Structure 1
């Protein structure tokens, strides 16, 4: 049986941990202060503990995450396109020089006896093409900015889930460690009793099987912690966390998780905020504006551009030195850019339908996430205060009862298995609750339901408005 991701809130961080959150960050423990890897299979392995709180982790993400850095460069590239769109066309210089002058019988005669032509032309874009190109480029850059915030929204949600998972995994490991320690004492006393022929070998083997099962699940959970730590290290890209020996300990105020009340929020307000803040919705809106601007540009492209400039011809006309003016204008008879105009018009219709569909999806995503969070929170609060506490208090009594032979090994093993399963299921419920809460934040595009800490003056946004 594999252990599921858990939220374990019965053990709270000490005040000392909370006070030292920021001071410990990025500080590795000295080599003479090692921390055990936490596995009986490799007792000699040493890890260095670093404590980390969520606000600091989010700051690291914004600063160091490589995907966000790459997205920022992408924005700069699109902004460079704005500069390029506003540039005028370069002038065209034409030179015509005769190779062989028949009257003088000279090659490449640059004198007055030879024939030379110079011409300069400048293309003038008509129909406001430059302004329309700039507008299209600006909208393209805005789309890139919203893609950046949409990426940030996904990465922050992933960071929070990974951060909390590490914390709650470690709390679950504490539960297994305490249970294993209790069973180990019982196994030790049972081995002595077996040597005295006070119990059967089958009874001893049943206890050892229970102990083996708990240790197996505990080791599997430890592996999952390593995996989440590696994921967090990639997200944060912090020099002090890159070492494989670094063990990340998430600092969480467990009481602040209890204070999150999804039922106190209003669905209509959440939907309204999602419409204003969802980056993917803004991308759909900006894409529609982009196609509208592109249609204007295509209409402007149907207007021919004017090429105009002076020319000089020496020895090639009736006059020895001829000065003139040239002008060139394409006549839009066959190609009036009608194909691109029709394509732009259809693209607008496509973007309108996509925008309507995206709005509908956002509204339903928020509604589903909101209802799921309310249901999970209500179910969690109905059982957390009594269900697990009653089992925890009874577990010690059952161990003592078994050691005093008040109950049989079957009764004890059955109770302990039920107790473990109940704790696991309750922890899974807490996991589902927090994931549902994070789904609300993700669907709205804002940190609506987040733990309140001393560092939080206001809810941090997952995406920014224009």
Structure 2
């Protein structure tokens, strides 16, 4: 969007040089008419947090930012460790039980009057038992652990989906906020000169006090809005630094300047897509929907495991007894099996059956929520995009053309300075609202991407090649 900032200089210069009677006014050498807004002046509104020579301006591309997110984001790194922990649970579930060794040694042998006699005259018993899990418990435990790991993987992708959406929204917000800051800085610089000239004219009784106060009020509101916008930029930059977690970007003096090709943004046309296709993609790609599905499978596998747990396990192994039976050296076999008379794992089986019913209802509800989220996000993107396209080429151009007529009208004294200031404030509101509309449009588009779970509306340069390992859930 072209804002034609030269308009403000053309508009406001006459305020400083022409009185209502058309007389030229002299400049005062000490007047703030010649004062320029400087980044190095800490007392000037619109100044940055650090002077220009200390500030580190960083041009940031969205693809580079996404790469840093996948690489450095601490929440994603923690989620990866969580996946590894769940995969370790799969290994643990497949392990066999350790054998049990039992040793019984007599303390005092009567025949030999010796303590702890381990010779043939003493009594020693050694028993070894191994537990064998029946009913396919190991395979079922492994299945449950695998599904638990898959749930963790989908939770990782769901977290990545949220973080990527936040990154893109923050990136575009900073970009359009910075455009608005430039607009305010140029406007404030021109208005300050106009106010200074009007003060001189008021002292000469060339203009009314009401006109001067009107201009000062306009300047005050511009500065106030500019500083509020500057604070929002700092807040968004802080969010971006946390998301990227890059050492060279951690300093407070780092200022991000996103690089955006607006033609690629304009090429995104939500109305070119169909809601049914987006809903279908959401069912296939939403990580949280996959989590709900995997959770249902987990409960089904857990039910099978609980049925297997009702089957008692067998413990079997050899036993050797020396000097403790009718035989000097006794060899035998021991076997142990719990008889499922009272405890047949009924409670856990019923709980697993009810858990399946719960998960089924939760899955159905999640599907319904996803369908409605996609529909709402898609409708919002269509409305924002249609509003943007309706006014971007006509509304701003009409204002720009009207500004030329307003200049001529003021120079010919067809309108007063108050009328001209009202026009300027209206034009300022229109430019700012258009920038806000562009921000809202990109946020609405990102809402569609988030609701679908797939980057269906992503501006891609010609040389863009998605990384299947990183973008598997996003592109």
Q: TM-score, normalised by structure 2?
A: 0.87
Does residue 1:290 correspond to 2:298, yes or no?
Answer: yes
- CA deviation map 1:331-382 (0-9, x unaligned): 1111111111111111111111111111111111111111111112112211
CA contact (8 A) 1:288 1:351 kept: yes
Deviates more, 1:39-48 or 1:346-355: 39-48
Aligned position for 1:248: 256
Q: Partners in 1 of 2:241 and 2:413 — Cα distance? A: 50
**C-alpha offsets along residues 176-199 of structure 1, whole Å, 9 cap, x if unaligned?**
122222322322332332233211
Structure 1 position 352 matched with structure 2 position 357: no
Q: 2:262 matched to 1:281?
A: no
- Paired residues for 1:4-83 under 5 Å: 9-10=1-2, 36=39, 40-41=44-45, 45=51, 46-83=54-91
Query: Partner of 1:201 in structure 2?
Result: 209
Q: 1:230 maps to what in 2?
A: 238
Deviation at 1:418, TM superposition (A): 2.0
State which drifts further: 417-426 or 277-286: 417-426
Per the TM alignment, residue 71 of structure 1 is displaced from its structure 2 partner at its CA by: 0.2
Counterpart in the other structure of 2:194: 186
Alpha-carbon displacement from aligned partner over 1:191-228 (angstroms, at most 9, x marks no partner)? 33223321123322221221121011111111111111
1:407 — aligned with what? 415
Distance in 1 between residues matched to 2:40 and 2:146, nearest whole Å? 53
> Size of the alignment, in residue pairs?
435
1:365 maps to which residue? 373
Partner of residue 133 from structure 1, selected from 135, 141, 145 = 141
CA contact (8 A) 1:279 1:463 kept: no
Unpaired segments of 5 or more residues in structure 2?
Answer: 5-37
Q: How far has the Cα of 1:47 moved from its partner?
A: 1.1
The alpha-carbon deviation at position 11 of structure 1 amounts to 6.5
In 2: Cα distance, 1:369 partner to 1:63 partner = 29
Q: For residues 65-95 of structure 1, what are the alpha-carbon distances to aligned partners after superposition, in whole Å with 9 as ceiling and x for unaligned?
A: 0000000000000000010000000000000
Structure 1's unaligned 5+ residue stretches are 1-8, 13-34
The match for 2:222 is 214
Find the aligned partners of 2:198 and 2:410 in 1 and give their Cα distance.
10
Q: 1:38 to 1:246 in 2, by over 3 A?
A: farther
- For residues 293-332 of structure 1, what are the structure 2 equivalents within 5 Å? 293-332=301-340
RMSD (CA atoms) = 2.2
Q: Which moved more, 1:174-183 or 1:361-370?
A: 174-183
Give the SS at the match of 1:131: helix
Farther-moved stretch of structure 1 (146-155 vs 395-404): 395-404
- Does residue 163 (structure 1) correspond to residue 155 (structure 2)? The answer is no
Worse-superposed segment, 454-463 or 218-227 = 454-463
1:49-128 to 2 correspondence within 5 Å? Answer: 49-128=57-136
Q: How does 1:355-394 map to 2 (within 5 A)?
A: 355-394=363-402
TM-superposed CA distance for 1:430, in Å, is: 2.4
2:473 corresponds to: 464
Report if aligned partners of 2:99, 2:130 keep a CA contact under 8 Å in 1: yes
Contact 1:310 1:326 in 2 (8 A): yes
Deviations 1:413-456 (A, max 9, x none): 32222222223333333222221111110000011012132342
Q: Which whole-Å CA distance do the structure 2 matches of 1:96 and 1:105 have between them? A: 18
| TM-score, normalised via structure 1 length | 0.88
Deviation at 1:103, TM superposition (A): 2.6
Contact 2:176 2:436 in 1 (8 A): no
Deviation at residue 400 of structure 1 after TM alignment: 6.5
Q: 1:263 aligned to 256, 271, 277, which one?
A: 271
